[in-house]
Chains A and B, each alone.
Chain A
Amino acid sequence: MSKKSKAVSSQHELYFAAFVTILGLVALVMAFGFSPRARILPIPVTLLLTIMGLVQFWNSWKQMTFEKSNKDTGISANATVPFYRNPLLMTIICILIYPLLLKFLGFIVSSLLAMVYLMRLRGVKSWFTTSVFSIITPILVYYLFNVIGGTNFPKGPWGF
């Protein structure tokens, strides 16, 4: 139904459908362990999720065999780039590490590091621009949320 102009192959569709099916199945099995009134809704919902996952799996399987004969996937183009240059991978790693840093370094410092890294990754060349924005943004955000919002963001060992 949709145009597949993006470099997304049906292979990824297949993986995701498999993920959905397994998620649904695991959740379904767990739902049987709930007390009777607490599983009235979860059982049909997870069952539907499993079935829809299987349907989607089947659809993408058909689509993939069709594409294989056409021999075109846009994925191999990325293979030559080393992993630390792959923006998708590195962005995901960065935002996954962020919550870990938060506990030790506090909001301001970990946000500063994340900003510097993400700005360089997205191609900001000037170190001046990078440092100005990555210093001002976390401080301003911290200030806004803590003064107006009255919240209490995590602090590092140095007190901010």
Chain B
Amino acid sequence: MDFSLWIRGLTALIQPSTIGWLILSSVIGYITGALPGMGAALTISLLIPITYYLDPAVALIIMGTIFTICVYGGSLSAILLNVPGTAGSAATCMDGYMMAKNGQAKTALGISTGASFIGSIGSTILLVVGAQVLLKPMLALGSSEYFWITVLGLTIIASLSDTGMVKGFIGGCIGLLLSFVGQELVTGTYRYTFGSLYLISGLELVAIIIGFFGVSEVIGMMVGKEISISKVNKLSGSVWEGMILPFKYLGATIKSFIIGFLVGVMPGVGYSISTWLAYNEVKRTSKHPEDFGKGSVEGVIAPEVSNNSTVGGSLLPTLLLGIPGSDTAAVILAGMIAHGIMPGPQLLSQRADLVYTFFIGLLVAGFFIIIMGLAVLPFAAKVTVMPLGIVAPIVTILCFAGALSINVSVNDVVVVVLTGILGYVMKKLDYPIVTVVLGFVLGPIMEENMNRAMLAVGGSIKGLFVSPLSWIFIILVIASVGQSIYRQLKNKNKKEALV
């Protein structure tokens, strides 16, 4: 590594206008991240025309900063209101919101700050150091491997079903069923569209998430007797305290970091999946798996580290191959090309100055996470002790606005309302609604890759088994299923022994 490049990158950064843009894009990224519906992809694509008038290095810094901070901002609304700001924060709702309910909103927000900081700084460093080494093996993964990885992801349903496998399976199947709606990629068949043009492009992930997490919770807030989101009406803990926790649970942090980064490098798969994989892995290996879903510290660390490390991971193939690792990376790629920065293996040698400015910008954005966190969070956490009579209606409007911002379509609002009601009913009846979201996220990726693997060998099911690499994942799937059956049986025996 050339040290002078870092110095040059740093001097390019230390200019009043560059720092000004850095601050401004952090603030914009944080707000658009925290607001449901608006994500990094949308924000960056709207800002690209403005960056035309700026230096390419500054443009790169703006895009990188917004990407990083947006993902972090999404956790703010996930923890405080159970409305994930971006798809990468859906898993954070699980334990983050529970902590807020227990009056530990400040701690939970602190954890998310510390974890996002580690995820983003770590992934930037790994991006610089391990770029060339990691790329080739990741590209070796083909459709059949992707298929088995998503099947592995679906086995998480079993471990998320604390109230019984049957209910978990029903949730997962409903999620998959919802994901089938729309025009199928390979055949062009319309599935469950009922002649509606709106349904042809399928249901929006963001609408499903806002509905199942946000609106279902709002209904609960309206009906319940609680005074505020926090049941104890007093805020315990502090942001500082929370920020240190990811360092204490270093095992969970490192595992989530690696999972997040590797999933990020895979094209077409993003943080809407890596967070769940990390959550499951940390839960599986935790000393206290029973605390998950009730406000576990590790349960917040896992998705928060992994969503930010996915960001770094997805930039790797973007910069080195011009292959975007996620939808936001695709927009960044478009922005780079618009500035005449051609991605590819030659980028590191030919435009090294630019790349290192970008890396330094990403590192600084990591530190901005902490600054933003300390500046905003202690006040934001007070939302959880505000009267629900005020909070619940505001969250309702935010959910509707988030749904509208996807396509400016009233139909999306209808979807959000209906899934919200369904989610509320399921929650009341002890169905684990996360399994619905998981099924919805994994369904299309599973089906598309299944079709690709089969079509590549002329349409036969053999395509799923021919690659030797995929057998690694098949074995992992069998192991995962076996483990949950074993655990289920053990629990049953225990219960019977108690009775």
Contacts and interface: CB of A to CB of B under 8 A. Distances in A.
A interface: dominant SS: helix
Q: Which residue, B46, B173, B192, B451, has most C-beta atoms of chain A within 10 A? A: B173
A109 interface: no
Contact of B42 (A41, A137, A144, A149): A149
Contact of B32 (A42, A46, A99, A149): A149
A148 B43 CA distance: 8
Interface stretch (B77-85, B96-104, B425-433): B425-433
B189 A34 contact: yes
A95 B215 contact: yes
A9 to B, nearest CB: 10
Contacts of A123: 389
B428 A6 contact: yes
A40 B451 CA distance: 9
A42 B170 CA distance: 14
Given A6-B428, A8-B429, A118 B222 contact: yes
B35 interface: yes
B107 interface: no
A64 interface: no
Interface residues of A, number: 65
A94 B173 CA distance: 29
B450 A40 contact: yes
Contacts of A20: 170, 174
Contacts, number: 183
A153 B397 CA distance: 13
Contacts of B38: 145, 148-149, 151
Interface in A129-160: 129, 133-134, 137-138, 141-142, 144-145, 148-154
B405 interface: yes
Contacts of B390: 119, 124, 129, 133
A92 B421 contact: yes
Given A16-B429, A98-B413, A49 B170 contact: yes
B388 A122 contact: yes
Contacts of A38: 184, 186-187, 189, 191
Contacts of B32: 148-149
